């Protein structure tokens, strides 16, 4: 092993601390630092200590509670409702607290509005931008992860 201070090869270097830096030092360089007590770590000790520190969150379905989605033609719906109401992009942006550029990008379909902005647009323009999500039944009657294949999905959509 090589001493990290002098660079010479030694058969036995020990861990030490020199000016706050942990190093492996030979017995000759040990006078420049102080010895760090070695801890004998076994795999079981490491596993136990890691398990006590790491708490894994319970798995949850991220799609649970998502029962609606943005309609497919949301950008044209917003644009037509704004024009029908007779207000400019600037005025609409001012009314809902968004920049004119953001309104323009939403109307052009370049930017999908967040749910919060979509709800503001719904209220301001008196339109509905969300639709209910269809639940797709599987043959087994369980959730999507219980055996629904792409073929099952296609057959369900054709009916």
Give the pLDDT confidence of 63-78 residue by residue, as tens digits: 777 788 889 899 999 9
> What CATH number should be reported for the domain holding residue 132?
1.10.260.40
Going by pLDDT thresholds of 50, 70 and 90, the confidence category of residue 82 is very high
Contact call for residues 1 and 10 (beta carbons, < 8 A)? yes
Residue 114 confidence (pLDDT) above 70: yes
In a domain, 14, yes or no: yes
Going by pLDDT thresholds of 50, 70 and 90, the confidence category of residue 52 is low
Going by pLDDT thresholds of 50, 70 and 90, the confidence category of residue 135 is low
Q: Which domain holds residue 23?
A: 1-37
Same domain, 154 and 86: yes
User: In total, how many domains does the chain have?
Assistant: 2
Q: What is the mean pLDDT of residues 104-109?
A: 94
Same domain, 78 and 134: yes
Same domain, 30 and 101: no
Going by pLDDT thresholds of 50, 70 and 90, the confidence category of residue 141 is very low
Same domain, 78 and 147: yes
Residue 34 confidence (pLDDT) above 70: yes
C-alpha distances in Å from residue 159, one per residue of 113, 136, 141, 152, 153? 32, 12, 17, 11, 10
CB-CB neighbours of 121 under 10 Å? 24
Same domain, 104 and 147: yes
Q: Which residue has the higher pLDDT, 84 or 34?
A: 84
Q: What kind and span of H or E run contains 22? A: strand 21-25
User: Residue 7: its pLDDT value, please?
Assistant: 83
What is the b/e burial string over 82-107, where b = at least 16 CB atoms within 10 angstroms of the residue's CB? Answer: beeeebebeebbeebebeeeebeebb
């Amino acid at each position: 092993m090589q001493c990290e201070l002098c660079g010479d090869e030694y058969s036995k270097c020990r861990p030490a601390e020199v000016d706050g830096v942990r190093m492996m030092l030979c017995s000759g360089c040990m006078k420049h630092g102080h010895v760090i007590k070695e801890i004998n770590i076994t795999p079981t000790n490491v596993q136990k200590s890691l398990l006590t520190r790491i708490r894994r969150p319970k798995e949850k379905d991220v799609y649970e509670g998502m029962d609606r989605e943005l309609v497919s033609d949301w950008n044209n719906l917003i644009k037509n409702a704004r024009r029908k109401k007779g207000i400019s992009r600037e005025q609409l942006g001012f009314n809902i607290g968004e920049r004119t550029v953001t309104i323009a990008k939403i109307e052009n379909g370049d930017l999908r509005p967040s749910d919060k902005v979509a709800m503001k647009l719904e209220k301001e323009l008196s339109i509905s931008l969300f639709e209910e999500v269809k639940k797709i039944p599987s043959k087994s009657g369980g959730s999507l992860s219980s055996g629904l294949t792409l073929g099952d999905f296609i057959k369900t959509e054709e009916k």
